[in-house]
Structure 1
Amino acid sequence: MDTLWQFVTQYGYWAVVVGGLVEGETLLILAGFAARLGYLDLPAVMAVGAFMGAFSDVLLFSLGRWRGKQVLARWPKVLRYRRRFNRLVARWGMLVVVAMRFMYGMRWAGPILLGMSDMPWPRFLLFNLIGASLWGFLAAGAGWMFGAAAQAMLKDAQAMQGWLLGALVVLALCFAGWRAWRGRTNGVSG
């Protein structure tokens, strides 16, 4: 996690580009946290993450249209998802396009499988953009909110720091007094 944090703080929006293209949530959440700390701008993080997420899905959708059968031959695990995914699309329609980036295992496979379907390009583009925008907003927003919570906890900890230090000093003095008393009682009775 430290390496990813360093990647985000060192490369900023370029890290968000990479995160939107290949990995996703972790880098976008860290970028939202970085925005909270002032390294990046939150609306820019959300926009870049959403755009790159949508762009990667368009590339994968195109791959499904162009070479879907070869992809399934090379990665048979994706084939196992195909029937279930087609049933989801038949039942829920375009909501699946919006939700696929939130479904485990569908980040890469979903757009490829949709590309192999008869879904029209304009419909895919519209609902993919909606899903990517929602994803960018929620993931970066989660990082921002985590940052707010962490800052509040640290502020509270700083306010209580004097009290905690005082309590530790009192406990240490009590322990030292108890050990001295115990040493005298053991020495007297022996």
Structure 2
Amino acid sequence: MDFVQLLDMLVHVDKTLGFLIAEYGVYVYAVLFAIIFAETGVVVLFFFPGDTLLFIAGAFCATGQMHLGLLMFLLITAAVLGNTTNYLIGEAVGQRVFTHNYRWINKDALRRTHEFFERHGGKTIILARFVPVVRTFAPFVAGVSDMTFARFQMYNFAGALAWVISLCTAGYLFGNIPIIRDNLTAIVLFGVAVAVVPVALGGLWKFSRRVMGK
């Protein structure tokens, strides 16, 4: 198996997890740990799966092929460490990301996340866990924005717990129901909408109040 095939397998882990379990056995925990760490810890790997991986992994736990408690512990740890790494990189790079042309940074995604972060503060770290792409950039922007490390870790840990436990549990309970398994992409998109729409509506409400106040 060459690198391109391996990368494609990891990116589409929701379709290949069964093969990974059969091929690598208990080492699949390390593979899943690495994927979650990479998606949350390295801004250029924002395309790695997160939500679908957690859901599908939970579904495999329900079949007895993995242990739910061990899986959640490892992936919560990976999510916390990934965000922490991303925060420290953002803190080290600082405001230079907005003034220098770094090829490895998606400026549009960075700018959108920064604006989102400025509007919603610390709770962004928790909410971002449920929003692809924003999930990867949020801790980086927190570091750039000089959020204190202690405050960041409070939201970081809370967000990791909520994200991993909710999606793994949902997969454990419902992931093996055919209609859900066959429409997973649509369900994940619906979940993203549920996470984003209330925040967007809140932002529009505050904006309209400012406009009307003037």
Whether these two folds match at TM > 0.5 is: yes
1:73 partner letter: N
Inter-partner Cα distance in structure 1 for 2:58 and 2:168: 4
For residue 139 of structure 2, what is the aligned residue in structure 1? 111
CA RMSD of aligned residues (A): 2.6
Following superposition, the deviation at residue 42 of structure 1 comes to 1.1
1:78 aligns with 2:106: yes
- Bigger helix fraction: 1
Within 1, Cα distance between the matches of 2:21 and 2:90?
31
One-letter code aligned to 1:15: V
Structure 2 match to 1:4: 17
Structure showing greater radius of gyration is 1
Which deviates more, 139-148 or 39-48?
139-148
Change (3 A) 1:82 1:148: closer
- Worse-superposed segment, 82-91 or 31-40: 82-91
Task: State the identity as a percent.
Answer: 25
Whether 1:143 aligns to 2:171 is yes
Return the alpha-carbon distance in structure 1 between the equivalents of residues 64 and 149 of structure 2. Answer: 39
Amino acid at match of 1:135: W
CA shift for structure 1 position 124? 0.6
- 1:82-114 Cα distance to aligned partner (Å, 9 max, x none): 444333233322110101122232132221111
Q: Is 1:15 aligned with 2:31?
A: yes
TM-score, normalised relative to structure 1: 0.68
Aligned position for 1:25? 51
C-alpha separation between the residues in 2 aligned to 1:88 and 1:147?
32
2:76 matches 1:60 = no
Report the CA distance between 1:38 and its aligned residue.
0.6
The one-letter amino acid paired with 1:28 is: L
Asked if the contact 2:113–2:137 (Cα under 8 Å) also holds between the matched residues in 1, the reply is: no
Tell me by how many angstroms 1:134 deviates: 0.7
Moved more, 46-55 or 10-19: 10-19
TM-score by length of 2: 0.61
Runs of 4+ in 1 over 4 A off after TM superposition: none
* Aligned-partner Cα distance in 2 for 1:67–1:88: 20
Bigger mean CA deviation after superposition, 139-148 or 108-117: 139-148
Partner of 1:51: 77
The 3 A distance-change label for structure 1 pair 114 and 75 is farther
Cα pair 1:28 1:140 within 8 Å, conserved: yes
Instruction: Say whether the 8 Å CA contact 1:12–1:40 is kept in structure 2.
Output: no
SS at match of 1:89: helix
5+ residue gaps, structure 1, are: 151-190
User: How many residues end up aligned between the 2 structures?
Assistant: 151
